[in-house]
Amino acid sequence: MEVLQNIQLTKDVFSLKLGGEFSYEKVQAGQFVNILIGDGKTHPLRRPISIASCDVEERSLTLIHRVVGVGTHWLSELKQGDRIDLMGPLGNGFPLPDENSKVLVVGGGVGIPPLYELCKQLSKLNCYIDIILGFRDEDDLFMVKEFEKYGNVITCTEDGSEGVKGFVTCALVNDEEWTTLYSCGPLPMLRALKEHFSHKEIAGYVSLEERMACGVGACYGCTVETKDRTATKRVCKEGPVFSWEEICL
């Protein structure tokens, strides 16, 4: 695909917009692509990046990532007109609720981007959407205004420099009658959310962040245990989205 735009959102978070041949109509919110870094000789393992937004009419794809190593640093330096090799869309996305449902969307850090495409899809179903976004500090904030187009947004920062002080669960003072919760972020956050709602009648779906080697389910390098610990599921193939009732968080 061709790089249409590469924008720095924070000191280490970048938004990469791509165009070209892609199965845009098949994209589900929560899916990802697997990107070849350079020519693949120095870094043979592709990098999985969640799809933040898919514009079928414009024929474009937006990926948002944080620079954490050589591969993502390479992505951050791409210029308009550069071309990259990727596979996708991969994995299974978030199952959508009934129309007019009341839902809660919770994201933390780089788990936030895939929830943006989800909110776009929920909006088309006329859902009432409450959104909680967790960041490290005020300098780490990104995409807040974009999410505000689709729902009621509450931001949280660990140091209290913006929004509610603390983790995302600190914003859950009054639990609404949400039918479904969608979340993506660090594992401790997902565990805390599941514990918070353990006595509530609410369907929970979580997107897991795992290191992936092949991205297509062949190598079994990104498995997660089922809730009864009798089997495993591949995050890249059966996931990355799971019901929190089927896996061991």
The CATH architecture of the domain made up of 2-90 is Beta Barrel (2.40)
Residue 218 has a pLDDT of 87
Residue 249 has a pLDDT of 86
Residue 19 has a pLDDT of 97
8-state DSSP, 133: E
Residue 43 has a pLDDT of 84
Fold that domain 102-209 belongs to in CATH = Rossmann fold (3.40.50)
Tens of each residue's pLDDT in the chain, 249 residues? 999 999 999 999 999 999 999 999 999 999 999 999 998 888 888 999 999 999 999 999 999 999 999 999 999 999 999 999 999 999 999 999 999 999 999 999 999 999 999 999 999 999 999 999 999 999 999 999 999 999 999 999 999 999 999 999 999 977 789 999 999 999 999 999 999 999 899 999 999 987 777 888 888 888 999 988 888 999 999 999 999 999 988
Residue 179 has a pLDDT of 95
Residue 227 has a pLDDT of 86
For the chain, which residues make up each domain, given as ranges?
2-90, 102-209
d(CA 176, CA 130): 9
Residue 220 has a pLDDT of 84
